[in-house]
Structure 1
Amino acid sequence: MVERETMEFDVVIVGAGPAGLSAAIKLAQQAQEKQKELMICVVEKGSEVGAHILSGAVFETRALDELIPDWAQKGAPIKTAVKQDDIYWLNNESKSIKVPNIAVPKTFHNHGNYIVSMGNVCRWLAEQAEQLGIEIFPGFSAHSLIIEDDAVKGIITGDMGLDENGEQKEGYMPGMELRAKYTVFAEGCRGHLGKELISRFNLDADKSPQHYGLGFKEIWQVPPENHVEGTVVHSTGWPLTGDTNGGSFMYHSEDNQIVVGLIVDLNYSNPHLSPYDEFQQMKHHPVFKDVLKGGKRIAYGARAIAKGGLNSLPKMHFPGGILTGCDAGTLNFAKIKGNHTAMKSGMLAAEAIFEAIEKEAQYTDLTSYQEKFEASWLYEELYSSRNFGPALHKLGKLLGGAYNTLDQNFFGGKLPIQFKDNTPDHATLLPASSVDKIDYPKYDNEISFDKLSSVFLSNTNHEESQPCHLKLKNATIPVTVNLTDFDEPAQRYCPAGVYEIDNTEDAPKFVINSQNCVHCKTCDIKDPSQNITWVTPEGAGGPNYPNM
């Protein structure tokens, strides 16, 4: 039995992203106002705050306006206002149609929003939190839950200094027990503790399964003549064909930098599809290539996003804790925005928790959170966009897009129709033998690049001798089932080259290059056998995004 140091807090928050930091700040603000002392701790698995943050991002300041009204005076890194919105339908590899505003859902209009690096915004939020006396521990992963008497009573941080067999190395340091009256889970999309909590407390009963997209992002330094600061471009169509949905983005941020990316819905059916290669191919369309040519790619990352919306939102409260932000799935897919909604969910969690602590309650099921949520603009937003994703899944790009434009622009998202998609993303793949293989063009190393050079730009690193954080429930399934039936799609859906089939020996062998993992969680989501479970590696492992 490992002896662990124990630290006691009023509130422990897992994850220093928009939801977690907003919850921490709101708690401290309330405590300050009531002259009450609160011990608040935030643990963050990244090497620093912001290291694992990846978001587009066009930022809506609504929640921040409530949390820190004088954010501009306090130097928030939110400066590039959106000046122009362009939407394109990409017909093929060279043709496109600029969509008139009347045919665009109003949720895609970005007047009043800002192009930001959410990594830098989170670093700034962490500074505000620390000024309020909040303790933030980067480099510490929340490895497991403390559940006693059927209530969450905190978390255990990951052990440091174990080898690949789980044996203690020199310098071994056991994880700590961080106990709290209440624990806020703000791990981001497909958080591994959030996933366990949803199962343990049956939080998704009577809900549609959560749906996901895989988002890619690159930052480019481009020639000044290719750059128009404040311009926001979105597109859909090519190269995504058939039942593969998604869309691209290109944002002209400050200092002649371009943010370009693609979101691929993970309910696609062709196991030969490679989301990474779809993104690299997309950049060759003139809409993007004409801006990127002559430039230099300086950053790369990938991350899954939860896009199921209100239909897939689990119950977010349970004895001793609350799920917030993308850990629950509060992203508004109709806007392709989840930062302001994550922040608001964290603020609502802080209100419910503070009320309970004032009543000297602990480890209770905070039912007041649901009441606060349903009375908030957050619920109103998610309700009005509840059909956005399911309509695209059920009706296709054209009819689904037409329905969404009608619903959002003329009925405010309140048409009395309910679309639901009850097929999980991992269950949509067709047998590999029944669909055509996809022949992707070669990378030109000017606009398109291979996976390994991309992973290099993500600054990803893990301690080499440590237990693999990509767990197989059955080590034989990748070859005996996934390879046989689906040509092992992990080789293609992973955006970092983690998974390979080695055919150099007598029998094919499934290889896991966990060192490459950028923590996108796609394998945990899309594996058709649900055989892969992502857990936290040793603290500080993973990507080190400078300003994503």
Structure 2
Amino acid sequence: MTQSLGQDILEQYGPRDAMEYDVVIVGGGPAGLAAAIRLKQQAAERGNEVSVCILEKGGELGAHILSGAVMDPIALSELIPEWKERGAPLNTPVTEDRFYFLTQSTSYKTPHWMLPDCFRNEGNYVVSLGNVVRWLGTQAEELGVEIFPGFPAAEILYNDDGSVKGVATGNMGVDREGNPTDAFQLGMELHAKYTLFAEGSRGHLGRQLIEKFSLDQGTDPQTYAIGIKELWEIDPAVHQPGLVIHTAGWPLDSATYGGSFLYHLENNQVAVGYVVGLAYENPYLSPYEEFQRYKTHPTIRKFFEGAKRLSYGARAITAGGLQSLPKLTFSGGALIGCDAGFLNASRIKGSHAAIKSGMLAAEAAYEALNASRQHDELTSYTEAFKKSWLHDELYKARNFKPAMGKGLFTGTVLVGIDQVIFKGKAPWTLHHSQPDHTCLKPASDFQPIQYPKPDGKLTFDRLSSVFLSNTNHSEDQPVHLTLKDPSVPVNVNLARYAGPESRYCPAGVYEFVKTEEGGERLQINAQNCVHCKTCDIKDPTQNIVWVTPEGGGGPNYPNM
């Protein structure tokens, strides 16, 4: 499904203006910015010019960026070797790793010597990825990259031969019914010799490209998780800059994939979050409430006594790994970063992989431009990836996610064998068997989960959390959470699965309300949407399709 102009509006307001570039990049995250910087670096090295622009749907660079995050600087050091001298905001080196298995009342710390390499973070940094992205943006602009924040790419444009021609931005000033208002502005077309898609996990255009070009043919189904995060300012007495804590176990049951992170940054701040795999079966499970419960554990809550919550956000994570990686290229463009799925789930890291993939794609695109090619397939990108340290890293991690999908206890044993004994080079490869949306089972197979009410000090409701995300959408714009069939939420999801969208959404977007006739209907509070994409992934009938809202809408994350 594309959010394209109706023919009648085009006839009235068109044609759209068009801008020409050598390379257009969709998404101003680590992958997109790295690609832009590398393109400009190569042009400068050879004394020629390459025109590059980035479209970013957030109101500013970093506004929609959310990650844990512990960052491996390996790719950044390749991209900008002098990043320290240039003031990159990697200010807090990791000083200690801790891993706990939690039960409801106690915890068991894994001895450091037993930790697999994937949970060792020496040489890495605790960062705000949003701030890293903002810094990367300044580096890109200094090189002459044109960056357009607040302009989401809403539509893919194709040449007559089927190759990707570029993208079109969404229209501005359209009311809820899709009619132009007095503030109407027609979208703009951006044409390019090559278009790189770096939208992040479950990219709106990326999923269309995967379907159109059958890029996932012959791969495992992609699998995802939702990551929910809060930023806190805590008591200096319990703050330890560089401390990295991960947990598994409670509050999730042993059959459900998930775990937590708690990272100590500078300035007495900690980033705390919870990750839940979206292959879970119980429709009554609420990732948001599980996160709130986790913070009440005795091992964890001590960090938050007398502390202040500063920010909140959520984002889907593409976690399938090497087995689920789609074909990266098609005529006229490529997928980079989490739009493809380069995250290393075993390390809980993706920013270094995103940067590296952006660099590899940029090098392939520049090579093609230098040979006066356009709109063909950048096969050298895929070839370079297969020869890179990134491929080696993802190969070593390939069994982690499918192993942990077998449950906490079995998965822990399998990961120990794979990562500790075989160092990721076991003579077998485990596979993902089904997409996440097919995993949900009928509500009749389960009992509702009774989650405790929030106390407003350590645990919070959704709406107060969304307030901290600074989320804003014009209420008069078309709802960007679209339904293929409006009858499905009540007739299928509510009847069979007890309305799981009201629980898996971390922002209170989906709500079943009573009708005057005594029935129920689904109310979509689109203004709350934090663009996590969970609904687009987990909806059991794949009836919900997330499309781009009006430019600049969504969260505005500070320091996340």
- TM-score scaled by length of structure 2: 0.97
- For residues 301-321 of structure 1, what are the alpha-carbon distances to aligned partners after superposition, in whole Å with 9 as ceiling and x for unaligned? 000000000010000100000
Alignment of 1:22 with 2:34, yes or no, is yes
Alignment of 1:492 with 2:492, yes or no, is no
Q: Which of 481, 484, 505 matches 1:470?
A: 481
Which amino acid counterpart does residue 371 of structure 2 have in structure 1?
A: K
Written as runs of structure 1 = structure 2, the 5 A alignment for 1:386-425 is: 386-394=398-406, 396-425=407-436
Aligned to 2:539: 527
Aligned to 2:205: 193
Written as runs of structure 1 = structure 2, the 5 A alignment for 1:295-444 is: 295-394=307-406, 396-444=407-455
Residue 233 of structure 1, CA deviation = 0.4
SS of corresponding position for 2:157: strand
Q: Which of 50, 53, 59 matches 1:41?
A: 53
- For residues 377-416 of structure 1, what are the alpha-carbon distances to aligned partners after superposition, in whole Å with 9 as ceiling and x for unaligned? 111011111111001113x212211221222223221101
Which amino acid counterpart does residue 397 of structure 1 have in structure 2?
A: L
- Distance (whole Å) between structure 1 residues aligned to residue 496 and residue 417 of structure 2: 41
Alignment of 1:278 with 2:256, yes or no, is no
- The range that moved more, 406-415 or 14-23, is 406-415
| Count of residues in Structure 1 that have an aligned counterpart in Structure 2 | 546
Question: CA RMSD of the aligned region, Å?
Answer: 0.8
- Distance (whole Å) between structure 2 residues aligned to residue 248 and residue 35 of structure 1: 48
Written as runs of structure 1 = structure 2, the 5 A alignment for 1:203-282 is: 203-282=215-294
- For residues 243-301 of structure 1, what are the alpha-carbon distances to aligned partners after superposition, in whole Å with 9 as ceiling and x for unaligned? 21111010111000111000000000000000000000100001210001100101000
Residue 164 of structure 1, CA deviation = 0.4
Residue 370 of structure 1, CA deviation = 1.0
CA contact (8 A) 2:69 2:128 kept: yes
Alignment of 1:537 with 2:544, yes or no, is no
- Distance (whole Å) between structure 2 residues aligned to residue 319 and residue 264 of structure 1: 35
SS of corresponding position for 2:455: coil
SS of corresponding position for 1:247: strand
Aligned to 1:108: 119
Aligned to 2:4: none
Which amino acid counterpart does residue 333 of structure 1 have in structure 2?
A: A
Alignment of 1:117 with 2:105, yes or no, is no
CA contact (8 A) 1:232 1:250 kept: yes
Written as runs of structure 1 = structure 2, the 5 A alignment for 1:116-155 is: 116-148=127-159, 149-155=161-167
- Distance (whole Å) between structure 2 residues aligned to residue 297 and residue 541 of structure 1: 23
Residue 504 of structure 1, CA deviation = 4.4
Q: Which of 166, 176, 193 matches 2:188?
A: 176
CA contact (8 A) 1:182 1:362 kept: yes
CA contact (8 A) 2:254 2:409 kept: no
CA contact (8 A) 2:256 2:408 kept: no
CA contact (8 A) 2:256 2:405 kept: no
Residue 18 of structure 1, CA deviation = 0.3
SS of corresponding position for 1:291: coil
Structure 1 segments (4+ residues) deviating >4 Å: none
CA contact (8 A) 2:326 2:340 kept: yes
- The range that moved more, 407-416 or 77-86, is 407-416
Which amino acid counterpart does residue 524 of structure 2 have in structure 1?
A: I
- Distance (whole Å) between structure 1 residues aligned to residue 335 and residue 162 of structure 2: 16
Residue 187 of structure 1, CA deviation = 0.2
Q: Work out the percentage of aligned pairs sharing the same amino acid.
A: 57
- Distance (whole Å) between structure 2 residues aligned to residue 504 and residue 249 of structure 1: 41
- Distance (whole Å) between structure 1 residues aligned to residue 103 and residue 558 of structure 2: 35
- Distance (whole Å) between structure 1 residues aligned to residue 203 and residue 294 of structure 2: 29
- For residues 124-178 of structure 1, what are the alpha-carbon distances to aligned partners after superposition, in whole Å with 9 as ceiling and x for unaligned? 0000000000000000000000012110010000100000011000121011000
CA contact (8 A) 1:243 1:269 kept: no
Which amino acid counterpart does residue 89 of structure 1 have in structure 2?
A: F
- The range that moved more, 18-27 or 411-420, is 411-420
Which amino acid counterpart does residue 126 of structure 1 have in structure 2?
A: G
- Distance (whole Å) between structure 2 residues aligned to residue 355 and residue 143 of structure 1: 28
- Distance (whole Å) between structure 1 residues aligned to residue 143 and residue 552 of structure 2: 25
Structure 2 gap ranges (5+): 1-9
- For residues 83-111 of structure 1, what are the alpha-carbon distances to aligned partners after superposition, in whole Å with 9 as ceiling and x for unaligned? 0101000011x211011123322111000
SS of corresponding position for 1:270: coil
Alignment of 1:458 with 2:455, yes or no, is no
Alignment of 1:503 with 2:514, yes or no, is yes
Residue 122 of structure 1, CA deviation = 0.3
- Distance (whole Å) between structure 2 residues aligned to residue 330 and residue 176 of structure 1: 30
SS of corresponding position for 2:473: coil
Which amino acid counterpart does residue 152 of structure 2 have in structure 1?
A: S
- The range that moved more, 406-415 or 149-158, is 406-415
- TM-score scaled by length of structure 1: 0.99
- For residues 323-365 of structure 1, what are the alpha-carbon distances to aligned partners after superposition, in whole Å with 9 as ceiling and x for unaligned? 0010000000010000000100000000100000011000001
- Distance (whole Å) between structure 1 residues aligned to residue 520 and residue 400 of structure 2: 42
